[in-house]
Amino acid sequence: MSTADQHLATRCSAGLFDFSFMGLYEFFGVEALARMQSRDLSHLAPGQIAYSLLLNDDGSVFNDATVWNRDGERWWLFTGRPGDFGWIRARADARDRSGEHAILALQGPLSGRILARLAGEEVLRNLQYFRFVQANQMSVARLGYSGELGYELVVSTDEASRLRQSLRDAGRPEGLSECSFEAADSLRIESGYVLFDREIDGRANPRELGLEKLVSNRRGFEISRRLVGFEITNEPGSGEHLSAQVTSECFSPTLGRRIALGFATPDARAGDIVCLDDGRIARVAPLPFYDRDKRRPRIAPL
């Protein structure tokens, strides 16, 4: 199955992704964790998840992350890079648990129907967005990277094969597709989600990334550029247009055209014509490209 087919299967039915490469760091007590990331965790109850940012001393974003309150005393921090532990260890006492667990992401409008066959319909009906529960020897979290209804399933590595096969079997009636990271990448570009080493380049601050709302302790962030979407044309560039930088790009199977994320000047507006750093012409587009009101991740699972 091609990457485009995997992408469309996730949009229309369900896709299964392996995110076991992610970094997982465990904290006992919340104080150190609260200081090293951008969200106020005081109201995060056990079973809740917060999307957060890890900030360098100068306010630039080191990486994005999710914080899981396991039981009030034990906390998990997930990032997209297992190599982040050196940065984390320099700021807090944490245990590196990267590689101890498999992380499978089940994404798509029919993902709830498939997962209910493993975790139970009551569990799926009651699980809210950015919450997690224990069910059938796995942590079941309602969140994802696709812009669709989705779940991340965390199990010990020795249970990974069993879980994958169980999901294959449960998803066969819906045509569940096993998907590559390339499909995850095009899905997240359509949905306007940032990626480490792309949009998160070690220099951009939360305001430039459009993520200032994730910083609970308000601080001033200077802005010299801001993240926008681009619809790319094949026209040659000229010196008459403002310059812009592409950070991520794909052909959108959903929209049928070439799109990108990148940085433009702070005053760039939707519809503006810009010249990209490789000389092509693009039109500034509002983010996200897909599901502008971000309703699909919150739809009823069953």
pLDDT by 10-residue block (mean), the chain, 302 residues: 97 98 95 93 97 95 98 95 91 94 98 98 97 95 97 97 97 97 98 97 97 89 96 72 93 97 96 91 96 96 96
Q: Which CATH superfamily is domain 225-285 in?
A: Aminomethyltransferase beta-barrel domains (2.40.30.110)
Strands 242-252 and 273-276: parallel
Three-state DSSP class for 236? strand
pLDDT for position 250:
98
pLDDT for position 148:
98
Which of 254, 245, 253, 302 is CA-nearest to residue 276? 245
pLDDT for position 167:
98
Which of the four CATH numbers 3.40.50.1980, 3.40.50.200, 3.30.1360.120, 1.10.340.30 does domain 3-20+100-190 have? 3.30.1360.120
The pLDDT tens digits for 95-118 are 999 999 999 999 999 999 999 999
pLDDT for position 8:
98
Half-sphere exposure of 82 (CA within 13 A, CB side): 10
> Does residue 109 have a cis peptide bond before it, meaning omega lies within 30 degrees of 0?
no
Region(s) of the chain under CATH 2.40.30.110: 225-285
Region(s) of the chain under CATH 3.30.1360.120: 3-20+100-190
User: What is the Cα–Cα distance from 232 to 238, expressed in whole angstroms?
Assistant: 15
pLDDT for position 233:
86
- Residue 10 phi/psi, 5° resolution? -70, -40
pLDDT for position 296:
97
Residue with tokens 């994404």, as numbered in its chain:
107
CB distance 13 to 177 below 8 Å: yes
User: What is the Cα–Cα distance from 85 to 23, expressed in whole angstroms?
Assistant: 8
pLDDT for position 31:
92
